[in-house]
Structures are given as C-alpha cells and as structure tokens.
Amino acid sequence: MDIKQLRALVTVAEAGSVTRAAELLHLVQPAVTRQIRTLEHELGVALFERTRQGMQPTAAGTTMVERARRALNELERARAEIRPTPGVVSGIVTVGLLDSASSLLAEPLVSAVLRDHPGIELRLLTAYSGHLQQWLDDGDLDLTLLYNLSSTPSLNAEPLVREKLWAVAPPSAGLRAERPVPLEEAVSHPLVVPAAGHGLRKVIDAAAAQAKVEMNLVVQTNSMHVQKQLALAGHGWTILPGVGIAEDVANGTLSAAPLCEPEVWRSIVLGTPRAGRITPAVEVVARELTRQINAAVHEGRWPSAELHDNGTANRS
C-alpha cells in the first residue's frame, strides 16, 4: 500500500469514475485501474462496484476512503509544517463553522487570514453542531464552533458568546426586535422546527418543558434554509438564533422577535481536540476567529448576543 494507491482510491471515490480520476491525477486510465486492483488484492476485498451512477464504494471501500483521506490530509499538513518560510506561520487548517453563523463569519475570517498569514491554507466546513463535533472527534477538523457544549474527554470547549433564540414569521406577523414574544404564544402557532435529535431542537424542547407548554408542530427539517423558506411561505412560525436571521430581518424578508417567558439562549464555544499538538497555524486561526466573533458582537452585527466573560481575554 502506497500514497499513489491511496490518492487513486480517494480520487475515484470523489469523481465517481476511473476515467475522470485519471484526468485529475494526470495518469492514463489503466494505471489508475491497476492501483485500485492492487489495493483490492492486498486488502482481499472489493472496494468499488460499477453502477449506473458510476463507480460507487462498497462498505469496505467507504471505510478505506475515509481513512485514506484522513492519512493524505495529515501528510499534507506535515509537509506544510516541515517546509515553512522562516518567520512565516504556514500550514493547512480545517475550520468548522455553524451553519447559522457561516454567512457572518466565513468571509471576514478568510479575508483576515489571507491578508495577515498567506502561508496558511484554510479549509472551511459548515454543518450543524452535532456533525461538527463528530468531525472534530474523527480528526477531520482542527477547530470548530459548537453550541451548548462543555469540555469533554475528547475536546476542549472555550466559551465565546451566548445568544437568544428568536420567534421567526412572515413579515405580515409584524414581529419586532423590541417586542419579545412569550414562548407560549410562539409555539401555539403552527411550528416549523429542527428535526428531533438536532442540537437546536434540544434547546427548544427544554425551554418548552420548562415553560410547561406544548408545541404545535407541523414540519420538522434538518435545514435552516428550509425552516426560513417554509415560514416565509406561511406554513408556520419557526425558532432560530438571531445570527441566522439577521440579514432576512434587515431586508424585510422575515419578521422576528426574541423569545421571552422564558428567554431561550444557546452558548457557542470554540472546540479543539485534547489529543495531539495544536500547531501555530491552528492557534493563529483560532485567535482570528475569536476576534471576528468579538467584532461582530461589539458592532451589533450579531443580534441579541453577549460575549462570554473570557471570550476576549483568552485569545487577545
């Protein structure tokens, strides 16, 4: 088993075709086929099956592709760290951003890192908190934003900011930031909510239980975009963090008001793995991400958010 075989394996899985993989690898097709077959012979299992949709990994192939991708990423990181320009921080840093906060943070983070540390190659992944935590535990992320999480045996969680959850509805509902909506009133409307098991749903369920109110659920989804789309179409109200609807409210697409009786909050933390060495490049990106969050809160671009007491001090 060698690096060329692993690259061939990952490229075929991503391209779905040996022909396309050969083009991407600048090889002839028989060479790629030979590398895959050699790997299959060594492992003693089939890694791909041909379907109408192209080359699809088998169950064993899927496992091998995940491990191979991780090994190749680690080699790339090592290469970048071993050959630095003197005095320049360099390396590959993979960052996880919460889907709800990505539009606020992604572009400013990239701009600042490219401007001040051009030797760093950023890779951004967006998802919900549960997925991001799993990717961090699996070693696919160097650092990530998570919410409503404390430190665990596998990761360090540094509190950064907390924010209110908002009732969200079509503009015709007339919700306004200065008039909070009681949770009981919000959940009495037909409600579009995150699917069961989603982190945000757990926060909403806990608040409803605390207030002893029942929710009028009509649709569950795993997409924030779909939540907003269905609310706009009049299928119900929804509940989202302020950062996820700030732009929609500003342009009049949706109306929103913070929840009250009780107020409902989520806390956002910066997660980093406990195991392994934190590289200078990761430290740089962690500091910059924290700065961008601090700036967004101070400048009022993150609605109803409050910085954690240690949010500025720890990475200033």
**What are 110-165's pLDDT values in tens digits?**
999 999 999 898 999 998 888 898 888 888 899 999 988 877 788 899 999 999 99
User: Closest Cα partner for 143 from 238, 281, 26, 47?
Assistant: 281
Contact 72, 120 (CB under 8 A): no
Query: pLDDT in tens for each of the 316 residues of the chain?
Result: 788 899 999 999 988 889 989 988 888 889 999 999 999 998 999 999 988 878 899 999 999 998 898 888 878 777 766 665 656 788 889 999 998 899 899 999 999 999 999 989 899 999 888 889 888 888 889 999 998 887 778 889 999 999 999 999 999 999 999 999 999 999 999 999 988 877 888 899 999 999 999 999 999 998 889 999 999 999 999 999 999 998 899 899 999 999 999 999 999 999 998 877 788 889 999 999 999 999 999 998 998 899 987 444 344 3
Its pTM stands at 0.71
pLDDT averaged over every residue in the chain: 88
